Amino acid sequence: MRPLFIILIVSLVVLQHKLWLGDGNLIQWQNLEKKLAAHEQENNKLATRNRALEADIRELKSGEQALEEQARYELGMVKGTEVYYQFVD
């Protein structure tokens, strides 16, 4: 009975050693979980940005108003019937 008990204790110690200090241990697992959460958060942020860009693209493709607004603000374009005034400070 005693040798069986010693064998069980030794095997428990070996398994605990692998669990806490071996390859793929709990500390590495927790670090990987933290990295995974950070990557998921970054992916969500990028997906939100992508959806906003896709909405802008759809708007530019479908309507002239968005295209005209972007041409006015980014390129400084004016219509033929408008007069452009620039004030210098």
- Please give the tally of structural domains in the chain: 1
Kindly report, residue by residue over 28-53, the tens digit of the pLDDT.
Answer: 889 999 999 999 999 999 999 999 99
Decide if 88 is inside a domain. no
Decide if 89 is inside a domain. no
- Contact (CB, 8 A) for 19 and 26: yes
Structure tokens at 87: 């004030």
Domain with 30, as residue range(s), is 1-75
Q: Which residues of the chain register pLDDT less than 70?
A: none
Decide if 80 is inside a domain. no
Q: Which residues contact 27 (CB under 8 A, 6 or more apart)?
A: 20
Predicted TM-score of the model (pTM): 0.54
Decide if 82 is inside a domain. no
